[in-house]
Amino acid sequence: MSFAHHAEQTDEPSSAIENYVKAIYGLEARRDGAVSTTALATRLGLRAGSVSAMIKKLNALGIVEHTRYHGVQLTDSGERIALKVIRKHRLLELFLVETLGLPWDRVDHEAEVLEHHLSDELAALIAEKLGQPTHDPHGDPIPTAEGTVSEGETVALETLEPGASGTFVRVSDSEPAMLRYLAERRIYPGAHFEVVDRQPFAGPLSVRFDNSIQSLGGGLARAMRCEPQDAAADRHVTPAEEARA
């Protein structure tokens, strides 16, 4: 419960601010604790100086907590902003796939722009039209309008041993080439699989999906997040699954 002796956030945050906040949110997840200026700069493709200036501003707006030379953390207010944008992003991704039939490897790019300009009202209508979905086409959970997310525990496909089976649950939306590759092989989040074989020295895995056996290695097997069989019991059916059912 942060006291607001600083400036309070009333009007809509700018696109730039939303992008910073999203990036901070994403980085906080991995390296727990504070997010460094350089990490942010790298993530956003900006220079450290620019980021430093923006951090000062975000701090003044009460969006981040900043301790000089030791990085930033989102405040509650900042986290609300992040979750709102992420919700819009993921709703848009699903909407573009479901309603307009845009290939899933291109929705991220479009959503990246539109998320900043979609009103709350339209977001609500889209969510309604899609039946209050819980996951986007890539398996990422969609935060609720109230700002709660359920990030499930997942492991990289890469880490599984031969004999293991489970469910492919999510994959990064920002790798069009990977997504095209998966789509060509009809591999989507929600798919069950069994690891058949695994070559030594971090080599590719042989993985059986419904009928086909695929060889998946390198970045792909690292990017594909899975739930092993045991833990997979209580998973929801993803919207992507529903749609293709």
Partner DNA sequence: ATTTCTATTTAGCCAGGCCAAAATCATATT
Partner DNA sequence: AATATGATTTTGGCCTGGCTAAATAGAAAT
Q: Which two tokens stand for residue 158?
A: 């890469």
Q: Residue 99: what residue type?
A: T
Question: Which of residues 8, 101, 146, 234 is near a copy of itself by CB under 8 A?
Answer: 101
C-beta separation of 207 from 214 below 8 A: yes
Alpha helices (H) along the chain? 15-30, 37-44, 48-60, 76-100, 107-114, 120-129, 176-184, 218-223, 239-244
The residues that bridge with 196 in the sheet, in sequence order, are none
Judged by CB under 7 A, the residue of 4, 7, 12, 47 near DNA is: 47
Q: Which is nearer to DNA, 31 or 244 (CB)?
A: 31
- Shortest distance, CB of residue 234 to DNA, whole angstroms? 39
Closest to a copy of itself by CB, 72 or 118? 118
Stretch that binds DNA, among 52-60, 81-89, 157-165, 170-178 (CB under 7 A): 52-60
From a copy of itself, DNA, none, which one binds at residue 119 (CB under 5 to 8 Å depending on kind)?
a copy of itself
192 bridge partner residues: 167
Contact 193, 207 (CB under 8 A): yes
Sequence-distant (6+) residues with CB within 8 A of 185 are 209, 212, 214
> Which residue lies nearer to DNA by CB, 19 or 154?
19
Which tokens sit at 82?
């992040």
CA–CA–CA angle 104, 149, 241 (5° rounding): 40
Q: Which of 4, 7, 31, 56 is in the footprint of DNA by CB under 7 A? A: 56
Taking CB under 7 A as the rule, does residue 132 contact DNA?
Answer: no
User: Per CB under 7 A, which region of 66-74, 154-162, 169-177, 184-192 contacts DNA?
Assistant: 66-74
How many CB atoms are closer than 10 A to CB 128? 9
How far is residue 129's CA from residue 37's CA, in Å, rounded to a whole number? Answer: 40
Q: According to the binding rule CB under 8 A, does residue 131 interact with a copy of itself?
A: no
* 18 or 98: CB nearest DNA: 18
Residue 16 or 232 having the CB closest to DNA: 16
The site for a copy of itself (CB under 8 A) is made up of: 96, 99-102, 106, 110, 113-114, 116-119, 121-122, 125-126, 129
The site for DNA (CB under 7 A) is made up of: 14-17, 19, 36-39, 45-57, 66, 68-71
